[in-house]
Amino acid sequence: MQRSIRGATTADKNNKIEIEKATKELLEQIIRANVLDIRKITSVIFTCTRDLDSAYPAVAARSLGLTHAALMCVQEMYVEGSLPMCIRIMINADMDRSQTKIKHVYLKDAKNLRPDLLEESIGFSIAIDGPSGAGKSTVAKLCAKELGFSYIDTGAMYRAFAFYCMQSGVVVSDTAQIDEIADTAPIKIDFVNGEQRVYANGQDISEKIRTQAVADITSKVSSLPSVRKKLVAMQRELAKKQSVIMDGRDIGTVVLSESPLKIYLDASSEMRAKRRSAELESMGQAADYAKILEEINLRDQRDMNRDESPLKKAHDALVLSCDNMSAAEVSAAICAIARIRMSGS
């Protein structure tokens, strides 16, 4: 059934780069918010105010793969007092979702055009919790790719804070010192070609945080209230701007407690130890199954009994036991449930 989706944004300057950048961002957010299959988009109408005449916004649509859809660019009539440098979009697509469930998207200064729709433009969120080694991150990344969502690696954010502490010479056992820097720590998350990148002090540290030294410090600071307050606020802010999937140990219970879809991904400690051993061996590293199993059980106890945001199943979470399921099978199951929830069925 044909549905129409509206959106608008503003360009920073009247030049080709800025017009195409603004248009692409708006299209991407509309597609993510409505989980659109671009093959189902039949036409897109673009309108620009008269002060934008350096490029056709349709060029941005073609760069996203919308080469089959009918594209039309129209210059708007001039109305005194109208929003300057404004780009509007009307997308027509074949969708199962009812028109009342459509999410319209207004960005930048265009938010003032339809303040009544701002809450509707917030995307869908999926929260995945579960014990260490259950495969949450792998499954979340597969789901994000399938649904066109942004995958938020919350663990990387805690690692980034730990890395910042190392760089700054902070003694991680000194909680007073950690509390002092937590709120102002220059940690930032951005997306480059759909991939999450992590920054500290403006430096891309996405690869540098994947060392054992950083992991050891992360385990010591991640449960501190001041650190969690800082990063949870960042995670919630990211979820307000786009459709996201997050995994962790308190996503459904704390971070995204209002998420419409919460999953508790479980697996026996024996299966998790087996998978971790196989992973290490595949990288040419020695794996002591008994030691790994012991460490997993100890971590479970620590995560479930910590004072700050312990690991537990949200009361409205769906439990998926993945002992006998591959990551692809778990992802397919979650995506199927998500599509049903998003359609309003």
Q: What is the pLDDT averaged over residues 91-96?
A: 89
Q: What is the pLDDT averaged over residues 216-229?
A: 86
Give the pair of three-digit tokens for residue 295.
């460490």
Longest dimension (CA), the chain: 74
* Edge-first strand listing for the sheet containing 125-129: 150-152, 244-248, 125-129, 261-266, 318-321
Q: What is the pLDDT averaged over residues 269-291?
A: 87
In this prediction, residue 117 carries a pLDDT of: 63
Q: Report the 10 Å Cβ neighbour count for 311.
A: 21
What are the distances in angstroms from CA 68 to CA 3, 31, 64, 74, 279? 17, 16, 11, 19, 42
Q: Is the pLDDT of residue 132 over 60?
A: yes
Give me the amino acid identity at 93.
A
Q: What is the pLDDT averaged over residues 269-279?
A: 89
Across the chain, what does the average pLDDT equal?
88
**97-120 confidence digits (pLDDT tens):** 776 778 888 888 888 787 766 554
Give me the amino acid identity at 343.
S
Task: Spell out the domains of the chain, with CATH numbers in brackets.
Answer: 2-117 (3.30.1330.40), 122-149+243-345 (3.40.50.300), 153-241 (3.40.50.300)
Read off the pLDDT band of 264 (50, 70, 90). very high
Cα–Cα distance measured from residue 93 to residue 3, given in angstroms and rounded to the nearest whole number: 5
Read off the pLDDT band of 121 (50, 70, 90). very low
Q: Is the pLDDT of residue 66 over 70?
A: yes
Read off the pLDDT band of 122 (50, 70, 90). low
In this prediction, residue 50 carries a pLDDT of: 92
Cβ neighbours of residue 209 under 8 Å, at least 6 residues apart? 156, 159, 160, 162, 163, 198
